[in-house]
Amino acid sequence: MTIDQTTIITSGILLLLAIVTPFLNPFFRKIRKEEQEDNCDDGQQQQLPPITVLITAHDNAPELKRNLPLILEQDYPAGYQVIVVAERGDSESEDVLKRLSANSHLYYTLIPESSRYMSRKKLSVTLGVKAAANEWILMTEPTCAPQSDKWLATMARHCYQGNDLVMGYSNYVPSAPLYYRFERLHAECYSLREAQKGIAYGHPGSNLLFRKSIFLNEEGFRGNLNLVRGEYDFIVNKFAKKGNTATEIAPEAWVREDAPTRKAWKYRHLYYLETRKYLSRGFAHRFLFNLDQTMLHLSFLASAAGLILSAIQQQWVITSAAAASILIMWIVRGIMMVRAARMLGEHIPGILALPLQLAVVWHNIGYRIKYLLADKLDFTTHKL
């Protein structure tokens, strides 16, 4: 068997792509555990500020009944209040709130069922922020459960001069579909790393701490009040600056979110496609993702094509190189994903790393097609 120059070059390219391209994926770029001691002096470390937890509810009586007690039982001596903004007429949610109202931490208010020119969700957030008695506001969802009674204390350790935002990790409950949990992990790795290395773009989770003063001084959701969703992304995108955003990935700060229905999952992605048109720094945010996906598919398709064509032509050296390339991609990406997943408390089999990462762009293409076919009035409150 002779090995010509074409065989050597082809095999070398396939192996090089397989070795290099995994280092572009977000699981390779390790998220740093930010320690309070690195950023503030002893005087600041000793004092944690009072905090307001803000929850906006819409037909969430079962979730409030299950998760609200976990928030009301936080171990936080500095003091905190929990503000729940619900809709008037949601009798089940009102009943849950009334039963829990004896807890001194809980405050709730009711808003009209509909708002013609303003997102109901953003109206609820805005009213909650204005009603907050404290400078620092921790926003989450009624479908989310803190995983520790130290949730507030762990997030609040970043509340010192110079920080305006703290992005905490969140993901779906372990019983959620595997792909849902993987995609959230994938998105969180991008957003948290971006916040640590530059200027945060958005927040795919439901665990965000921010200053009341910056929200009010910068006029909150002004400019996107008519868009139905995107609260977390808009807050981070508008108020994040270089060096003013901390991240928190300690297990005590995690929250777990109920698995969304298939309809809710679809609309979450469609709403984001509308939302991102109004976000700054979009090109830089998507550049690494697009580069990773392009190189991943280039490497995989080249190896797959090389494997099939060389086998047909009985060029066994290229066949071996192509098979080795796919194996290298699979193993290296699996190791990287498992390392990142374990650090964030996720259990996703490493053997699924390659197919899951390949699937991301195809899911996104599917959402893009559905978005293009959708009635754009579904994403806005202006339905005249």
Determine contact, residues 181/80, Cβ cutoff 8 Å: no
What is residue 97's predicted lDDT score, i.e. its pLDDT? 95
Q: What is the pLDDT of residue 326?
A: 97
Question: Can you tell me the distance from the alpha carbon of 310 to that of 319, in angstroms, rounded to the nearest whole number?
Answer: 5
Cβ count within 10 A of residue 368? 13
pLDDT tens digits for range 107-156: 999 988 766 556 888 989 999 999 999 999 999 999 999 999 999 999 99
Architecture of the structural domain at 48-271:
Alpha-Beta Complex (3.90)
Res 116: pLDDT: 56
Percentage of the chain beyond pLDDT 90 is 81
Q: How far is CA 339 from the centre of its chain?
A: 18
User: How far is Cα 145 from Cα 124, in angstroms, rounded to an integer?
Assistant: 20
pLDDT score, position 37 = 45
Identify the band that residue 177 occupies on the pLDDT scale cut at 50, 70 and 90.
very high
Q: What is the mean pLDDT of residues 22-40?
A: 76
Asked whether the predicted pLDDT for residue 383 surpasses 60, the reply is no
Say if residue 384's pLDDT is above 50: no
- What's the first-to-final CA gap in the chain, in angstroms? 74
Q: Does 43 or 222 have the greater pLDDT score?
A: 222
pLDDT confidence bin for 225, thresholds 50/70/90: confident
Tell me whether strands 144-146 and 136-140 are parallel, antiparallel or unpaired: unpaired
- Cα–Cα distance for residue pair 345/24, rounded to 1 Å: 23
Q: For 193-202, b where at least 16 C-beta lie within 10 A, e where not — what string?
A: bbbbeebbbb
Q: What is the pLDDT of residues 322-349, one digit of tens each?
A: 999 999 999 999 999 999 999 999 999 9
> What are the extents of the domains in the chain?
8-27+285-379, 48-271
- 23 pLDDT exceeds 50? yes
pLDDT at 139: 98
pLDDT tops 70 at residue 89: yes
